[in-house]
Structure formats: C-alpha cells, structure tokens
Amino acid sequence: MLAVNIIAFLAIFSALMVVFHRNPMVSVVFLIVNLVCIALFFLFLQAQFLFAIQIIVYAGAIMVLFVFVVMLLNLRREEETRPNWKVQRALAFAGGVLLVGALWSALWRRGASAEAFPGGFLDEFGTAEEVGRLLFTDYLFQFEAASVLLVVAMIGAVVLARRKES
C-alpha cells in the first residue's frame, strides 16, 4: 500500500510539473514519468497486458513523437504575457479546484456499495489472451473502426505535415 501511495504522489507531482514547467522538453520528460506511474498502477490492478502496452505504445511510441516535435521546433522562447492572462489563469485554477471537488464528492457519495462486489478473479483476468479474445468477439466492430481511425490519422498526419510544393 505504501508503494501505491508513493506512485500516486509521484504521478501527481509529475503531472504538476508537466503543466507548470516553462521548458516543453522538461514537460515531456515529466509526462513520461507520469505515464510510467500509470503503467505501474495498471500492474497493481492486474492489467498486465495494459502495463506492457502503456510502456511500449505510450511511453515509447507516442512520447518519441512528442520529443521529436519539441526538438524539431526548438521552442526556447518564453510564453509572453497577454493582457487578459491573469484573469484567465485565475479562472482556470478556480475551475480546476471546482472540478476536483465535484469529482471527489461524486466518488465519495458512490460509497462502499460497489466496493463489496464479491466474485473472485478469473485466471485470465488482464492477460493479452483475454483482451484479444474480447477484441475479436464482443468488440469486433469497434476494433475494425479503430483500425480505420488509425489509417485515417496516418494519412492525415502525412498530408498535414507535408511541405507544400509551390
């Protein structure tokens, strides 16, 4: 349980650093820390397959994309201050605190009823085998739709980032 608390603290700290650090490159590094923390949570929740996917796809592939773009654009310039900056900032923080309060009160009110769910774990809970079986039986249509989405995103990214011939 102590380990979970430490990881939770680390996850929240790294999330704060992502938002508040001035340098985008440092933000990317802290986002990777955050993703690894979430992957460890998956491990605690018996989601071994998702743990592997989180590390490989998220912390690996997607974050490489972010690192690449941050380095390509080489953004060193500080974000400058705008006239209405302070008001927006204050409103955003107030909204964030309100959001946390609303979500927490909703989660507290949920109470212990869901907690008492009896059944034990199946042996295959969280394995790649079981996720694959579900993807190819109950969620087949959604799986195919996801593959179409990925193709569209791939073509879209190539078209968007292409240098226009003039």
Least distance (Å) from another protein to the CB of residue 124?
8
Residues 29-88 that bind another protein (CB under 8 A): 31, 34-35, 38, 41-42, 44-47, 49-50, 53-54, 57-58, 61-62, 65-66, 69-70, 72-73, 75, 79, 82, 88
Does residue 86 contact residue 30 with C-beta atoms inside 8 Å?
no
Considering beta carbons, is residue 115 or 165 the nearer one to another protein? 115
In whole angstroms, how far apart are CA 124 and each of 47, 56, 102, 133? Answer: 10, 21, 36, 11
Q: How far is the CB of 165 from another protein (least distance, A)?
A: 13
Site for another protein in 102-141 (CB under 8 A): 103-104, 107, 112, 114-115, 117, 119-122, 125-126, 130-131, 134-135, 138-139
Q: Does 6 bind another protein (CB under 8 A)?
A: no
The 3-state secondary structure of 23-92 reads CHHHHHHHHHHHHHHHHHHHHHCCCHHHHHHHHHHHHHHHHHHHHHHHHHHCCCCCCCCCCCHHHHHHHH
